[in-house]
Amino acid sequence: MDTSKVATSNSSAATAKKPGKAGVVANWADERLGLGTAMKKNLRKVFPDHWSFMLGEIALWSFVVLLLTGVFLTFWYRPSMAEVTYMGSYDQLRGLHMSEAMASTLNISFDVRGGLLMRQMHHWAANIFIASMMIHLLRVYFTGAFRKPRELNWVIGSLLLLLGTLEGFTGYSLPDDLLSGTGIRAADGFMKSIPVVGTYMSFFLFGGEFPGDSIIPRLYTIHVLLIPGLLLGLIAAHMLLLVYHKHTQWPGPGRTEENVVGFPMLPVYAAKAGGFFFIVFGVTAMMGALLNINPVWKLGPYDPTKVTAGSQPDWYMGWPDGALRIMPGWETHLFGYTIAWNVFLPVIVLPGLMFTILLMLPFIESWITGDKRDHHLLERPRNAPTRTAIMVALMTFYGLMWAAGGNDIIAIKLNLSINQITYFLRVAVFLGPVIAFMITKRWCISLQRHDQEKLLHGYETGVIMRSPEGGYSERHLPIAPASAYTLTARDRDEMWTPEAETDENGVRRPGGRLSGLRARLNKAWYADNVQKPTAAELEEAHHHAEHEHELQAPLEGHSADGHQFDGHHAVEGETLRGSH
Instruction: Looking at residues 51 to 80 of the shown chain, list those that interact with another protein (rule: CB under 8 A).
Output: 51-55, 57-58
Distance CA 332, CA 335 (A): 10
252 binds another protein (CB under 8 A): no
Asked if 30 interacts with another protein (CB under 8 A), we say no
Given candidates 14, 16, 22, 290, which one binds another protein under the rule CB under 8 A? 290
> What does each C-alpha distance from 113 to 94, 177, 310, 353 come to in angstroms?
19, 21, 30, 45
Shortest distance in whole angstroms from residue 83 CB to another protein: 15
Angle, vertex CA 142, rays to CA 511 and CA 262, nearest 5: 115
Positive/negative CA dihedral, 350, 351, 356, 357: positive
Stretch near another protein under the rule CB under 8 A, chosen from 26-34, 295-303, 447-455, 512-520: 295-303
Cα–Cα dist 313/216, whole Å: 17
DSSP type of residue 509: P
The minimum distance between CB 234 and another protein, in angstroms, equals 22
Helix (H) or strand (E) holding 240: helix 227-245
For position 497 contacting another protein by CB under 8 A, the verdict is no
Residue of the chain from 19, 233, 295, 516 that contacts another protein (CB under 8 A): 295
Return d(Cα 310, Cα 399) in angstroms, integer: 19
CB 311 within 8 A of CB 179: yes
Nearer to another protein, 303 or 474 (CB): 303
Alpha carbons 575 and 580: distance in angstroms, whole number: 9
> Is 247 among the residues that bind another protein (CB under 8 A)?
no
d(CA 390, CA 393) in angstroms, rounded, equals 5
Residues 211-240 that bind another protein (CB under 8 A): none
Minimum separation from the CB atom of position 204 to another protein (A): 28
For residues 364 to 403, the per-residue mask of contacts with another protein, x marking binding by CB under 8 A and - elsewhere, is ----------------------------------------
Q: Which of 76, 110, 443, 565 binds another protein (CB under 8 A)?
A: 110
Amino acid letter for position 15 = T
Does residue 260 touch another protein according to CB under 8 A? Answer: no
Phi, psi of 500 (to 5 degrees): -60, 145
Q: Which of residues 506-545 bind another protein (CB under 8 A)?
A: none
Footprint (CB under 8 A) of another protein, residues 297-336: 297-300, 303, 305-315, 318
Query: What is the residue type of 460?
Result: E
From 99, 202, 284, 522, residue interacting with another protein (rule: CB under 8 A)? 284
Considering only the stretches 191-199, 292-300, 458-466, 558-566, report the one whose residues sit in contact with another protein under the rule CB under 8 A. Answer: 292-300
108 in Cβ contact with 75 (< 8 Å): no
Measured torsion, CA atoms of residues 562, 568, 570, 576, in degrees rounded to the nearest 10: -10
407 belongs to the binding site for another protein (CB under 8 A):
yes
Decide: is 355 part of the binding site for another protein (CB under 8 A): no
